[in-house]
Structure 1
Amino acid sequence: MNSCIMIGVAGGSGSGKSTFTNRLKDAFGDRVTVIYHDNYYKSNDGVPFEIRQRENYDHPSAFETDLLIRHLKALRRGEKVQCPVYNYSEHNRTRETIELAPSRIIIVEGILVLENPELRSLFDIKVYVEADADERIIRRIIRDVTERGRHVEDISEQYLTTVKPMHYLYVEPTRATADIVINSGMNDVAFDLMRTKIESLLRPE
């Protein structure tokens, strides 16, 4: 698959980047492949749950980004890959993998996908989704309680000790590297522009 186009979608936790990515996935279905950087969190096997809860998951070193880079290069060569699966409730990687096949459009989503220079260089289109800090923490609390089985106290502690400081150190600076900056995952104008761009890329040459 020589003409594979890779799109990186970054932004702070709760910014709406997953919403934006999932809207594109819903629009194009199997014609696009979506990869979540979160699934490449390093394995915490052998680490007690209490310690796993307090790990810094917003620092670049928390991810096995070199594996993601290898997988993206393999997909670009037309090869299938076995993507890891992460369990947020357990703060650990599962034993499962998901087989991903190459496609014309590959979207990679995550808070730090634009932070690593080698990873960033693989993207043909770089998108940064931003939102007000209050909106981001509210969305994070709702998501983590309803979808990940976490407690508000733990979410608040994690946000203040790691999520917030890491956002300003590592996530927000990547905004300057983006080709497109949008102010919400529900920004219909930005979505329509990106959908039109992807449709044009998917047309037979």
Structure 2
Amino acid sequence: MTTLVVGIAGATGSGKTTVARRLTEALPRGSVALLQHDSYYRDRSDLTYEARCELNFDHPDSLETSLMVEHIQSLREGKAAGVPIYDFTTHRRRPDVQRIEPAAVLVVEGILVLADAAVREMLDIKVFVDTDADIRVFRRIRRDIEQRGRSFAAVRKQYYSTVRPMHLQFVEPSKRWADVIVPEGGRNQVALDLLVARLRTVITEET
């Protein structure tokens, strides 16, 4: 089986996760697998919870990207991968892993997916989701407060100290590597339809 690997990058709150989810939902069950770069945050159990909260989670070094590259290669070779499960409320990896089975299409999603050369080399289609900054900020605030148990003060501090600087240094420049730029994320139905049509063609050729 030949696996087509699709990378979906974009800033925090851009809608890249929605794009990845809608692509996987639009394809036949069992034909697509999803890897999220966020799963590969390093487990810093050597630090206290307070110290972990102060880490720069938007820098490439905070992620074990080399492990994700190994898993992409395994999936391309038709072998399953044991993907870490990261708990964003405790900033720790859980002891168990998620088993991801190989599929005709592999979607790899994360803010820094296009910023790493080793990951880019594994991607057959590179997508960057581009959304206005004000929309992205409000989406991030809502997500961190409602889903990750953060206070508004903590979200604001993290945004100014690491999120925005790392976006300007790593995420935004990675847009130049994209094959496809999707404005407004999951709301761009035309772009989604085009991507789904391409992926369905690949799946049909494999069956």
Aligned length: 204
1:11 counterpart = 2:10: yes
Which aligned runs of 4 or more in structure 1 are off by greater than 4 angstroms? none
- Structure 1 residue 31, shift from structure 2 partner: 1.6
- Structure 1 residue 81, shift from structure 2 partner: 1.0
Q: Which residue of 1 aligns with 2:142?
A: 142
Matched residue SS, 1:15: coil
Matched residue SS, 2:108: strand
Q: Tell me, which stretches of 5 or more residues in structure 1 are unaligned?
A: none
2: CA distance, partners of 1:69 / 1:183: 27
- Structure 1 residue 121, shift from structure 2 partner: 0.6
- Structure 1 residue 30, shift from structure 2 partner: 2.8
Matched residue SS, 2:107: strand
Q: How does 1:15-164 map to 2 (within 5 A)?
A: 15-28=14-27, 29-164=29-164
Letter in 1 for 2:148: R
- Structure 1 residue 44, shift from structure 2 partner: 1.1
Matched residue SS, 1:203: helix
Q: Tell me, which stretches of 5 or more residues in structure 2 are unaligned?
A: none
Matched residue SS, 1:162: helix
What's the TM-score once normalised by structure 1's chain length? 0.97
Matched residue SS, 2:140: helix
2: CA distance, partners of 1:91 / 1:143: 16
2: CA distance, partners of 1:30 / 1:158: 38
2: CA distance, partners of 1:14 / 1:92: 22
What's the TM-score once normalised by structure 2's chain length? 0.96
Superimposed CA distance per residue, residues 160-187 of structure 1 (whole angstroms, 9 cap, x where no aligned partner): 0000000000000010000000112221
2: CA distance, partners of 1:32 / 1:197: 13
Matched residue SS, 2:85: strand
1: CA distance, partners of 2:100 / 2:88: 21
Matched residue SS, 1:45: coil
Matched residue SS, 1:58: coil
Q: In percent, how many aligned pairs have the same letter?
A: 39
The CA RMSD over aligned residues, in Å, is: 0.9
